Amino acid sequence: MPLTERLSAGFGPGIGYVRAEANGHDTDLFAWQLGADLDYRLGRLHLGLGARWQDTVNKTVAPGCEGAENWLVQAKVGINF
């Protein structure tokens, strides 16, 4: 959603696939996530910040290790074509 002429924000859910490994065991997991982004455009230059939290449906990855949860925070710089 536009906040100003150059600044926009977005947020929402997502689904994903995770291949997790722990203690020499690995497994495939279904994941769900929530994310948010803030984007700024200055001419052809594109700057952004984003954050995402992701969790997996409970499944044993290795003995004593259930599921996989993680955070991602990123900064982006790009050129618009």
Q: What is the pLDDT of residues 33-59, one digit of tens each?
A: 999 999 999 999 999 999 999 988 767
Residue 18 binned pLDDT confidence (cut-offs 50, 70, 90):
confident
Is 72 inside a domain boundary? yes
For position 17, what pLDDT does the model report? Answer: 87
Is 1 inside a domain boundary? no
Give the structural domain span for 33: 7-79
Is 2 inside a domain boundary? no
Is 60 inside a domain boundary? yes
Q: Is the per-residue pLDDT at 25 higher than 80? A: no
Q: Is the per-residue pLDDT at 63 higher than 80? A: no
Asked whether the CA dihedral 1, 51, 18, 56 is positive or negative, the reply is: negative
CA-to-CA distance for 44 and 62, rounded, in angstroms? 47
Asked whether the CA dihedral 58, 62, 63, 69 is positive or negative, the reply is: negative
Is 15 inside a domain boundary? yes
Total domains in the chain come to 1
Is 65 inside a domain boundary? yes
Structure tokens at 18: 């995770």
Nearest CA among 47, 39, 43 for reference residue 77: 47
